[in-house]
Amino acid sequence: MKKPKTCGFICYGVSSSTNSSYENQIFSGPLKTLLSNEVESAIKEGYSHFICSFSLGFDTCFVEAVIVLRERYPKIALEAALAYENQADHWSEKDRDRHFRLLAMCDRETFISRNYAKNCYLNRNRYIVEQSQRLIAVCDGRFGGAMHAVNWAKARNAEVIVINPATYRVIRENILK
């Protein structure tokens, strides 16, 4: 059986204390549309497995886009790659409820570590990159885990799509058509 083409998603983290007006501004409109368009484009190019870290913020937009598109493309699968089992324990009740509601819609859950460990988030990002032939990243170029993941993906010659959340600029590298 042929292994499905996998598209991973990485972004820089957003705090659980982020207020809802900021979330509505950042995670609405153009960014959600860009993410949805990139997911649908990947599906049309043969990607059928999508993997995401299920952190707060842009991950939620990505997961929701995959879930909505799964209604039109029922053969696509969604995997949650969690840094550790209880990663949502310290989130707000609203964020935890949303997290577990979306997690219940996944086809697969992968826990990188049973408990929090120093490098569990880094190892989760590495797992996503190693599983993926394409990486979609919401990243503005600042130093951090998302930028590391983009660099790892480039080093592996994976297809990389970077969306800058401040400018909505999309940069594509190693995309073969």
CA contacts within 13 A on the Cβ side of 34: 21
The answer, yes or no, to whether residue 127 has pLDDT greater than 90, is yes
pLDDT top residue among 31 and 76:
76
- Where is average pLDDT lowest: 10-24, 93-107, 122-136? 10-24
Look at the domain 5-173 and name its fold: Rossmann fold (3.40.50)
Here the tokens at position 71 are: 């209604």
Residue of 27, 97, 98, 33 lying closest to 68 (CA atoms): 33
Here the tokens at position 110 are: 């992968």
The confidence band for 61, taking pLDDT boundaries of 50, 70 and 90, is confident
The answer, yes or no, to whether residue 22 has pLDDT greater than 50, is no
Could you list the beta-strand ranges (E) of 17-158.
47-52, 77-84, 108-113, 134-138
Q: Mean pLDDT throughout 123-134?
A: 97
Residue type, 106: C
The answer, yes or no, to whether residue 23 has pLDDT greater than 70, is no
